[in-house]
Amino acid sequence: MTSAQSPELDPANNRAIAAIAASGIRHEVRSHGKASSLAEAAALRGVRPRQIVKSMIVKDGTGEYHVVLVPGDRVISWPKLRAVLGVNKAAMPSADEAKAVTGFARGTITPFGTLTPLDVVADALVEPGPITVGGGAYSVGIYLDGDDLLAHFGAERVDITEPDPAFVEAAAEA
């Protein structure tokens, strides 16, 4: 689908797409169908769940916001993240607060094109090869290399997650 057919893919209408285009990072932007789960989203995108990297906004106890990159089959380990950030408190802000900081609704958040420049913290398991992150609009994904993503934002891989219980249970049932 081209940007002429889909406004959410057009850099003139989507700050995230404009930012990734301006970054110089090799990437591809694709539109995919609406998914009701991460596993379904991975199937629609043709990737493994771990290759979908969730961009989550976290506000620490000092009032600073961070984009936390989490592989799809993982969840934030709050004690680990607080230790990495060097704070006693950290939490996800409300959807309205996250949108005010990033300009993106939950489910569309990406580190590219946020309204406020944000520190990016990446989990140790963000893959070095092909991954996909949100594209600033529902059903839009940015496909790029994990190493390129982290290098662009100066992020290092650190241990801040644990297995998502939903994926652990699904694997045990399979």
Residues contacting residue 24 through CB under 8 Å, at least 6 positions apart: none
pLDDT at 173: 54
pLDDT at 169: 56
**Considering all CA atoms of the chain, what is the largest pairwise distance in Å, rounded to the nearest integer?**
48
Where would I find the beta strands (DSSP E) of the chain?
A: 27-31, 52-60, 65-71, 74-76, 90-91, 119-123, 130-134, 140-145, 157-158, 161-163
CB atoms within 10 A of CB 149: 26
Tokens of 40: 């379904």
Q: What is the pLDDT of residue 4?
A: 47
The pLDDT value given to residue 65: 98
Q: Model-level pTM?
A: 0.92
CA angle 33, 30, 103 (to 5 degrees): 85
Read off φ and ψ for residue 103, nearest 5 degrees: 90, 0
Give pairs for 99-103: CB < 8 Å, separation 24+: 101/57, 101/65, 102/57, 102/67, 103/15
Give residue for tokens 């539109």: 31
Residue 3, pLDDT score:
42
Distances (CA, A) of 73 to 39, 66, 124, 167, 168: 9, 20, 13, 6, 9
For residue 174, the tally of other CB atoms under 10 A from its CB is 5
What is the pLDDT at residue 36? 86
Q: Which pLDDT tens digits describe the chain residue by residue (174 residues)?
A: 444 468 888 898 999 999 999 999 999 999 998 888 888 999 999 999 999 999 999 999 999 999 999 999 999 999 999 999 999 999 999 999 999 999 999 999 999 999 999 999 999 999 999 999 999 999 999 999 999 999 999 999 999 999 998 876 555 455
**What is the C-alpha to C-alpha distance for residues 43 and 113, in angstroms, rounded to an integer?**
26
